[in-house]
Amino acid sequence: MAFHVPAAYEGLFEEVEGQFRLLLAKHIVTGITEFQFNKWLTNFLTDEDRYLAARLLENLTFRSQDMVGSAIAHILQCILPAELRRLGLRFPSIEHFMKEVSAGGAHQPVRFVEVEGGNQPGKSGAVLMRELHRLGNVHNGLLIKAKDIKSQTASVKALVFVDDMLGTGKQFTDFAKANHLDEETGKRKLIYCPLAAYADGLKKLTDESPWLVVCPVEVFGQKHRFFRGEDVRPEVWAIDRVNLVADVRAHMATLCERGGISTSRYGLELLIGFHHATPNNTLPVMYAKSPWNHLLVR
């Protein structure tokens, strides 16, 4: 049987649509307008399309501005102080450390580095630097670009790389090689703090770059992939335990063809979004533009 709406889920679309509108109305989901949501829904024409849309929304992990602020606070107040203590640096309290980070100054032992992609600044890296300042109250003087790493003095004991997503690990590996980060390890500790990480990419980066301390705020894995199969019956779609994975993929391909979206852009087949950006490992039906109407911002 081709992809279909199981009898037990015939009202799912209306239920999930109503729940998502409530999240928008209460500003629990930020960065998405109701108009934007309505436009995205117009991409889905048939009952099968709308059922798939409901499953996309239901499995979306979205981090609002407040949630991103909490993730940044976790990095600044938990991860970073713990790593600095391992270096022998002590602060009277977390509050004192946060005041120091907010005050800035050349004597501070930490610098936050923008993660750049290729020869051009990575959009998410630049945005995260702004969010560190805006939501984390980090002094602008402690935010640097990769080109400034070599000029840091010996008083800088740690470089902290904050990013939104560690997927396969390739992007950061390329960034590290381009900027010869391994040469810095004898001078200072290098800490990579993505807001989210995929388990396989996390292991790969940890194995290949033992000089790097990797501390993600959240970790996602196989169970978060949209096209995942059941453990016992891998051919059956784990999300509804009725449709076949092959049929779900085929229907998604039909939608992508209609919307001018390349199926080669599936990445890790995740559904993760932040109020400020969408990782490229999220399915493109969430963020693709023209003629497709996007829901998330890439």
Distance CA 245, CA 251 (A): 10
Q: What is the pLDDT of residues 192-247, one digit of tens each?
A: 999 999 999 999 999 999 999 999 999 999 999 999 999 999 999 999 999 999 99
Q: What is the pLDDT of residues 121-133, one digit of tens each?
A: 446 778 899 999 9
Contact 218, 194 (CB under 8 A): no
Three-class secondary structure of residue 29 per DSSP? coil
DSSP secondary structure string, 82-134? HHHHHTT---S-HHHHHHHHHH--TT-SEEEEE--BTTB--HHHHHHHHHHHH
Across the chain, the runs of DSSP E, i.e. the strands, are 61-63, 110-114, 143-144, 158-166, 189-198, 212-214, 218-220, 272-274
Count of Cβ atoms closer than 10 Å to residue 290 Cβ: 8
What pLDDT is attached to residue 116? Answer: 82
Q: What is the pLDDT of residues 89-114, one digit of tens each?
A: 888 899 999 999 999 998 999 999 99
Mean pLDDT of the chain: 93
Query: Over 60: is that where the pLDDT of 118 sits?
Result: no
Express as a percent the part of the chain with pLDDT over 90: 87
φ and ψ of 81, to 5 deg: -60, -40
Three-class secondary structure of residue 60 per DSSP? coil
What pLDDT is attached to residue 263? Answer: 80
Count of Cβ atoms closer than 10 Å to residue 250 Cβ: 12
Distance CA 125, CA 203 (A): 22
Q: What is the pLDDT of residues 2-50, one digit of tens each?
A: 999 999 999 999 999 999 999 999 999 999 999 999 999 999 999 999 9
**pLDDT band of 120, cuts 50, 70, 90:** very low
Mean pLDDT calculated for residue range 132-159: 94
22: buried, middle or exposed (CB in 10 Å: 19+, 13-18, 0-12)?
exposed
